[in-house]
Amino acid sequence: MILLESLVMDVSWILDDLNDPQRAAVTAPLGPLRVLAGAGSGKTRVLTRRIAWLLAVENASPWSILAVTFTNKAAAEMRSRVEAMLDQPLGGLWVGTFHGIAHRLLRQHWQEARLPRAFQILDSDDQTRLLKRVLRDLNVDEKKWPPLAAAGFINRCKDEMQRPANVLDDGTPAQRQNQRIYATYQQECERSGLVDFGELLLRAYELWRDHPNLLTHYQERFQHVLVDEFQDTNTIQYQWVRLLSGNPCDVFIVGDDDQCVYGWRGSKVENIQKFSDDFPGAQTIRLEQNYRSTGVILKAANALIANNTGRLGKNLWTNAGDGDPVQIYAAFNETDEARFVVERIRQWVETGGQRRETAILYRSNAQSRIFEEILVGAAMPYRIYGGLRFFERAEIKDALAYLRLVANRDDDPSFERVVNTPPRGIGGRTLDLLRDTARAESCSLWQATSRLLGGKALSSRAAHAVRRFLDLVEALDRDSQDQPLPERVSHVIAYSGLQTMYAEDKADKGEMRAENLDELINVSARFIAHCDPVITGADPAEPDWLNTFLAHAALESGERQAGAGEDCVQLMTLHMAKGLEFSLVFLVGWEEGLFPHNRSAAQERQLEEERRLAYVGITRARQRVYLCHAEQRRWYGKETQQNPSRFVREVPEALTQDVRARVNAKLRPKAPPALSPAAAMAAGGLQLRQRVHHAKFGEGVVLAIEGEGYHTRAQIHFPAAGGPKWLVVAYTKLDRL
């Protein structure tokens, strides 16, 4: 009896704050079980409690449990929750991502996996670099066969568990070519002991498949397998789970078909659907109550996702009151958007809120730049998750390396970085010779090269190639010397060949990198506009903009970001935000072309994935959501007019509230630039009901004017362009009629 009582007490701390279906899931008899439920319904909570249940009630040892999460952050959180519940460290418990777990297995069984003990992981950048070399060795023209496309092919094959030998020969030359590249690339990886991301999973799968005794060992060890975010597993991950779960198996998976957002990376929402076929006797439990968000947020998310077809369908409700309407903010431009967001966060903090409870979520990494800038200006600690910080990205480092060489020919790391980027036929042997000479003569690589060009040590081909490089840098310097900084940056990016190189990389990354390069031009323009001579050390009388800017870039790449434990604003892409929650969520850049992304808007299937991403975004919020869009944005290096995203319209108007612009002088890091004479004229001269003409929107009537000086904006009704628009007067050319 005493035993039973203590058991009941034990169990109550696991089950007390769960609803009935949640409790049913946590306490289900061992065996395959699937929890299918919408955002914020407690799937992750249930999975965590299930682990506690297994340990405390089923007497499972921590060793026998394997839990898979989607990010390392989520894994760390899950472990600490369980440890806190049981009040003890659980060293034997394996919690991690698929990649992390596969890596761990391969480290432990490197011999069986036929890997060198010190095998290294190839990140996607390294992978592309290696593929470039492979393409060159195979005499494949990089222009016709972009390395990123080859990488895409290889990664897809690995996700589908295909080795070069079993790539399906569909008879097309393209497929044969791809297969040949894959085979050579793979040989190269084996020879150098390199393992790419896809290889981690495939190797770990093959390790078990080919070593039945090892597999049995792990099947016996991991009696309990739990997987969060199951809707985003791909083929190899799914098969890996199947292989591991022996018979009988206790597999516990949770997921939401409406949150499948990695289709572009091979994840298959069908996996969660076919689970019940592949795991006989599987039970399904649905959770319908949402505990995260207010009624309004939930209704907004439900209405938006209802536009998708082929859903499993769910009925998600909440007990919470309606709460605040979804706040919609139409910004003048991207700077205004960022200032608005930071100002709202400041107010939140002033009234006792924590910074870590606020998140700025964007579609593409390039958008983070302006937020970093404004956050730094407002001295507000922040942290960017995932993705490299702007000045650390490879393409930005490439561009900066050229600029540094323009500023200082003797900058050896920059020389090394770009001497053969874009490729100009300078091989490893030539580089070694340059390095040896520089070392022997204690001079810079640049000087060594110049000296070697005077002698006979270099072959005529190599001499030609390095001379081209030296001439290029000299020309970049000479031709841009008299230009203002942004033009100079733009010139160097264009004429170094970087722009073309990245723009012609056909896969996702190339486009993104080209966008980032354009953003560097914008950054330099803003840098000059807001440069504070005291901070940057520029001589106000005659600033050396190039060097001041380069110093700024170098300093900023190392610091400023808050440390892990600090209370700071959270910045990440929508993809990274899956599974997380925050009191205040700012969804920024909800503009057609940006979100849904240009690429995805045309295809229904991709558009639906974008919409699921929007659904993920909205459902991250507990208390309040802001949907922000800018009317003008510096994008692809130029100022463009933007339309609000269709996803803004898909949120019922009754649930939303428009936020009026309020310019807060305190927030501005520096004084705004003085109004240009033309802008002052334009702002001063506009009157209510005045008729105007705009080059793109045609004739219109001024309905409202607000703001002041540089920030003056006018609402103008343009019948031909579909109604009223807010325009920033200083940026807009309007003819008065």
Q: Which stretch binds Mg ion (CB under 5 A): 43-51, 332-340, 599-607, 704-712?
A: 43-51
Q: How far apart are CA 313 and CA 191, in angstroms?
A: 49
83 class by beta-carbon count within 10 Å (0-12 exposed, 13-18 middle, 19+ buried): middle
Report the amino acid identity of residue 465.
A
Nearer to ligand ATP, 43 or 299 (CB): 43
**Residues 279-338 interacting with ligand ATP (rule: CB under 6 A):** 291-292
Question: How many residues make up the chain in this entry?
Answer: 737
Nearer to Mg ion, 48 or 524 (CB): 48
Q: Which stretch binds ligand ATP (CB under 6 A): 32-40, 51-59, 510-518, 522-530?
A: 32-40
**Residues 639-668 interacting with ligand ATP (rule: CB under 6 A):** none
Interaction partner, residue 256 (Mg ion, ligand ATP, none; CB < 5-8 Å by kind): ligand ATP
Question: Is position 49 an interface residue for ligand ATP (rule: CB under 6 A)?
Answer: no
86 class by beta-carbon count within 10 Å (0-12 exposed, 13-18 middle, 19+ buried): middle
Residue 293 CB, nearest approach to ligand ATP (Å): 9
Candidate residues 17, 410, 474, 567; the one interacting with ligand ATP per rule CB under 6 A: 17
Residue 45 CB, nearest approach to ligand ATP (Å): 4
Question: Is position 589 an interface residue for ligand ATP (rule: CB under 6 A)?
Answer: no
Candidate residues 39, 95, 401, 675; the one interacting with ligand ATP per rule CB under 6 A: 39
Report the amino acid identity of residue 712.
T
Candidate residues 44, 178, 259, 414; the one interacting with Mg ion per rule CB under 5 A: 44
Q: How far apart are CA 66 and CA 64, in angstroms?
A: 7
Question: Is position 354 an interface residue for ligand ATP (rule: CB under 6 A)?
Answer: no
Interaction partner, residue 231 (Mg ion, ligand ATP, none; CB < 5-8 Å by kind): none
Question: Is position 450 an interface residue for ligand ATP (rule: CB under 6 A)?
Answer: no
| Contact between residue 360 and residue 374 where contact means Cβ atoms under 8 Å apart | no
Nearer to Mg ion, 261 or 630 (CB): 261
Question: Is position 579 an interface residue for Mg ion (rule: CB under 5 A)?
Answer: yes
| Contact between residue 208 and residue 243 where contact means Cβ atoms under 8 Å apart | yes
Distances (CA, A) of 441 to 44, 435, 445, 453: 62, 10, 10, 15
Residue nearest Mg ion, CB atom distance: 44
Q: How far apart are CA 737 and CA 729, in angstroms?
A: 16
Q: Which residues are CB-neighbours of 525 under 8 A, at least 6 positions away?
A: 485, 486, 634
Q: Which stretch binds ligand ATP (CB under 6 A): 14-22, 196-204, 441-449, 454-462?
A: 14-22
- x-marked contacts with ligand ATP along 598-637 as a string, rule CB under 6 A: ---------------------x------------------
Q: Which stretch binds Mg ion (CB under 5 A): 456-464, 486-494, 571-579, 701-709?
A: 571-579
Residue 579 CB, nearest approach to ligand ATP (Å): 4
Q: Are strands 632-635 and 638-641 parallel, antiparallel or unpaired?
A: antiparallel
Q: Are strands 713-718 and 723-728 parallel, antiparallel or unpaired?
A: antiparallel
Nearer to Mg ion, 105 or 287 (CB): 287
Q: What are the φ and ψ backbone dihedral angles of 411, each rounded to 5 degrees? A: -75, 95
Distances (CA, A) of 707 to 371, 662, 684, 733: 22, 7, 12, 18
Residue 612 CB, nearest approach to ligand ATP (Å): 11
467-473 contacts: CB < 8 A, separation 24 or more? 468/424, 469/419, 469/424, 469/426, 470/446, 472/496, 473/402, 473/405, 473/406, 473/409
Neighbouring C-beta atoms of residue 143, cutoff 10 Å: 10
Residue 573 CB, nearest approach to ligand ATP (Å): 15
Nearer to Mg ion, 510 or 579 (CB): 579
Question: Is position 389 an interface residue for ligand ATP (rule: CB under 6 A)?
Answer: no
Residue with tokens 């560097």: 520
Question: Is position 45 an interface residue for ligand ATP (rule: CB under 6 A)?
Answer: yes
Report the candidate in 412, 314, 434, 416 with the shortest Cα–Cα distance to residue 36.
Answer: 314
Question: Is position 105 an interface residue for ligand ATP (rule: CB under 6 A)?
Answer: no
Question: Is position 579 an interface residue for ligand ATP (rule: CB under 6 A)?
Answer: yes
Residue 38 CB, nearest approach to ligand ATP (Å): 7
Tell me: cis bond preceding 596? Omega within 30 of 0 counts.
Answer: yes
Q: How far apart are CA 373 and CA 130, in angstroms?
A: 34
Number of residues that bind Mg ion (CB under 5 A): 3
Question: Is position 69 an interface residue for ligand ATP (rule: CB under 6 A)?
Answer: no
| Contact between residue 36 and residue 284 where contact means Cβ atoms under 8 Å apart | yes
Interaction partner, residue 40 (ligand ATP, Mg ion, none; CB < 5-8 Å by kind): ligand ATP
Q: Which stretch binds Mg ion (CB under 5 A): 29-37, 361-369, 579-587, 652-660?
A: 579-587
Q: Which stretch binds ligand ATP (CB under 6 A): 38-46, 164-172, 524-532, 535-543?
A: 38-46
Nearer to ligand ATP, 292 or 575 (CB): 292
Distances (CA, A) of 251 to 116, 193, 258, 282, 284: 33, 34, 22, 9, 12
Nearer to Mg ion, 43 or 49 (CB): 43
Q: How far apart are CA 615 and CA 593, in angstroms?
A: 18
- x-marked contacts with ligand ATP along 245-284 as a string, rule CB under 6 A: -----------x--x-------------------------
Nearer to ligand ATP, 338 or 613 (CB): 613
* Structure tokens that stand for 502 in this block: 């990245």
Question: Is position 489 an interface residue for ligand ATP (rule: CB under 6 A)?
Answer: no
Residue 607 CA to its chain's centroid (Å): 18
Q: How far apart are CA 153 and CA 379, in angstroms?
A: 44
Number of residues that bind ligand ATP (CB under 6 A): 19
- List, by residue number, the catalytic residues: 43-44, 228-229, 259, 620
Residue with tokens 């989520």: 74
- Interface residues with Mg ion (CB under 5 A)? 43-44, 579
Q: Rule CB under 6 A: which residues touch ligand ATP?
A: 17-19, 22, 37, 39-45, 256, 259, 291-292, 579, 581, 619
